[in-house]
Every structure is written in C-alpha cells, then in structure tokens.
Amino acid sequence: MSLPRLALTAGEPAGIGPELVARLAASDLPADLVAIADPALLAQAARAAGIELSLRSYDGAPVTARARGELRVVATTLSAAATPGRLDPRNAPYVLATLARAADGAGSGEFAAIVTAPVHKGVINDAGIPFTGHTEFFAARAGRDVVMMLTAPGGARNGGDLRVALATTHLPLAAVPAAITRAGLVQTLRILCDDLIAHFRIAAPRIAVLGLNPHAGEGGHLGREEIDVIAPAIGQLRAAGFDVQGPIPADTAFVPTQLQRYDAVLAMYHDQGLPVLKHAGFGHAVNVTLGLPYLRTSVDHGTALDLAGTGRADPGSLFAAARLALALARS
C-alpha cells in the first residue's frame, strides 16, 4: 500500500515555515511528504536547526515507506535570496505559486491533503497583490464557499476536541455586521455540519451559534442582528433537521459546562472565537478549511520572524496539522 501523500507548503521564506517543514520531515509520520518550496531554502533551514534532511526531486511516483529526514520536493525557485527574519516583497509571487501548485495537485487527486505553514499577509499586499489569507485563496481558486474552523484538543462534547468555526474571517471589525447575512449563515452552517459528518465522523453534530452583540443583543437593546439575521438563520436550519442552538452570548458560550453540550461553536468574527481556542490549545491547535473539494489543514500561528533562523521554532502545531490531515485522508 502506498503512503498517503501530503503536500507541504513552507509559507513565508523569511519566517519559521521552512524550519517547521524540515522538522516534520525528520519525524516518523507515516506519510509521503512532498514539499512545494525552494530546495535550497529547506536545506538552509535544516542546517540552521541541526536537522539531517535528505531532499529528493518529486517524480509523482507512489511510495510505500519514508525514512526519517526524507523529503520529496516540487522545486519552486525563490525570486530573491531569503534572509531569516527579513521580509522581501519580491518573494510574494513565489509564495503564491507554491499555494497554487498545492491547490491544483490536491484538486486533481495528486495529493491526499494540503498542510500549510504560515504566510505573511502584509508583505504579499506590499508586493501589490491583494491577499487576505490562505482560506480565501483556496476558496477563490476552487470556486467554493468555505468555512474556517480551528480545532484544539479537549473541552467539547463527550471529551472531544474544541472546534470553533467562523462566520466571517479576515475582515476589519467595522465591516463584520454587514457581512453577516441570513443566507451566508445558512450556507456556513450547512458546510460546517456536512463536513463534521463527512470528515470527522460525527453522525449528528450539535452546533452552538454565538450572537454578534454583547449578551446576544439583550433582546434588541444592544443590537438587532440576533433578531433580524442570526435567529432566522438558525430557525431555517432547525426546520431542515439540523441541531443548531442559539444565538448564545459569547461571554458564556465557552464555559466548560456549556461546551460539553456541543461538537462545534460558530463565532461571528475572527477575534470573538479564536482567542478562546488559542488560549486553550495554542501551539497544538489546527486550522481546517471546510467546504473545499480536498482536505487542507494549517498551523494556528504566524510567521514568527523573530525566531526564524534560530532553530528554536516550536513545530507542535504543524505536527498536529499533519497528523489531522493524515487521519482525515485515511478516513
């Protein structure tokens, strides 16, 4: 039996991504690891971290075993030499080229899943390329509506993982209320429920939906989004047979006794739900993109430019992302 093939993107070349990929290659993860990156960059990161890395050119052939330190590479050349910790907009097209290659390969079935190291959104935009994040990039390339969900060990129903999905992703806070619509929430909740069933093998997911405003709007006294938008969307899903509860005030939804009732929480915006999840499991949490025609997982952190090139980057989240991608691919 051939090993499941995971596409690895190393992210921002000046960040810790190349080291994380090298550390993953040095593990005994039973997967065919294929990095889409500049081989010289990976070798440089491995040397700085004291990792023995054996790089091989990727030829598309299946493999039945992988030795520690062995990594196949789809060679993608940097536009400019990378210096750890020093961003260079000239390498923005390189970063996007690695993501595009991974997406195309996963979409065709060449890769069982994509696992991404962190990118730096700011430097890509500084290069004149509009970019809001991995999630939005893969959604646009696939032509799909998607949902960002992060998962961390423990804390949810039946002792399962804590899962927090987002109704909106990388938006300014002032733009969030207008971005929350009944149709959008219905679609998000359907994707969330469908993928929890299909990929996470949860037969009947229970979802907690947070309110947007303090105290879930306090009956309209602190905002009407709950009454006019969120509650009607919940009602539509419940009428269709989905176990969706809310709107629930965000300040009490993450109390342990509440979390034990649910398989996932849908937050209305990025910083409503993710600070709680990252407090619970930072460094071991995984970002999963739901709704794509392929599997994609990622780390729960940024490029950590201050650690780049030091050999001290913590690979925990990338390891967790790879293990989850492998488990989902096998299922």
The answer to whether 134 is annotated as binding is: yes
9 among annotated binding-site residues: no
Residue 287 among known ligand-binding residues:
yes
Spatial separation of the C-alpha atoms in residues 331 and 325, rounded to whole Å: 10
**CA–CA separation, 153 vs 161, rounded Å?**
5
How many whole angstroms separate alpha carbon 14 and alpha carbon 47? 15
Measure the CA–CA gap between 60 and 74, rounded to whole angstroms. Answer: 10
What is the C-alpha to C-alpha distance for residues 307 and 171, in angstroms, rounded to an integer?
27
The DSSP H or E segment spanning 192 is helix 182-198
**CA 146 to centroid of chain Cα atoms:** 11
Pairing mode, if any, of strands 286-290 and 70-75? unpaired
Q: CA-CA distance, 258 to 280, in Å (whole number)?
A: 15
Cα separation, 288 vs 194, whole angstroms: 14
The answer on whether 279 is annotated among ligand-binding residues is: no
Is 278 within any annotated ligand binding site? yes
170 is in an annotated binding site: yes
Give CA–CA dist 166/135, Å, rounded. 11
120 marked as binding residue = no
Q: Is 284 annotated as a binding residue?
A: no
Please enumerate, by residue number, every residue annotated as part of a binding site for a divalent metal cation. Answer: 170, 215, 270
Please enumerate, by residue number, every residue annotated as part of a binding site. Answer: 134-135, 170, 215, 270, 278, 287, 296
Please enumerate, by residue number, every residue annotated as part of a binding site for substrate. Answer: 134-135, 278, 287, 296
